[in-house]
Amino acid sequence: MMNRFIKKSIQYVFAPSLLFFGICWVFSPFDSKGDSLFAEDNVLIAKDCARVFSYLGNSDHAADWSIYVEHIKPLNPEVVSDGSVGSQRRCFTSQHDNEFYWDEEILAVSDGAYRKLACYNYTNLGFKAPELITEQVYRKHQAGCQLSFTLTNKNSLSFSDRLKMKLSGFYIKYIFKQNLENIKKLVEQLDE
């Protein structure tokens, strides 16, 4: 009786689960680059890069374009201006500041062309997440500005962290796509 239960468990639970994780691993939007996982998405915006860069450098705008972030609270505006190197901010996914949130710090800025942020201190997520690096890359294009969002891990990943990132990659890619489309729509409506 026990052998039959084990065989059925393998047949109906373990094998399909293994197949599901295998498919997610292979087709995840995260690409491997050495020990890192890397995801990217982009959009072409019919405005110059300086305008797009300025818009995204203001944390108050996140609530307008993000489908995931409810609001962003700058943590050190008296020390450094929002969107500049060293600027720290807390990103909330709900109006209630005690639900899931994380912190960001702007690590590098090239005016009108690039912004690099560290994401850390994930709170009330339900599981431990690795520290991440995200980039905003602004490339001049004949039709305006190509804006790219990237996401990668900061440190080497354990197998379980790699698996979590691979599985979450589908949702992260969806968020990137929606956010970029929202930014395009909002920035293109701005007056010069």
Assigned domain for 6 exists: no
Assigned domain for 131 exists: yes
Assigned domain for 107 exists: yes
pTM recorded for the entire structure: 0.82
Range of the domain at 73: 29-189
Per-residue pLDDT of the chain (192 residues; tens, 9 = 90+): 556 656 555 555 555 666 665 665 566 666 677 666 777 889 999 999 999 999 999 999 999 999 999 999 999 999 999 989 999 999 998 877 678 899 999 999 999 999 999 999 988 876 677 788 999 999 999 999 999 998 888 877 788 887 777 777 888 889 999 999 999 999 999 876
The two tokens of residue 73 are: 């609270």
Domain count, the chain: 1
Q: What is the CATH number of the domain that holds 153?
A: 3.30.530.20
Assigned domain for 83 exists: yes
Assigned domain for 11 exists: no
Assigned domain for 1 exists: no
C-beta separation of 103 from 93 below 8 A: no
Assigned domain for 104 exists: yes
| Rounded alpha-carbon distances, angstroms, from residue 27 to 39, 65, 72, 118, 171 | 12, 28, 32, 26, 13
The two tokens of residue 131 are: 């520290």
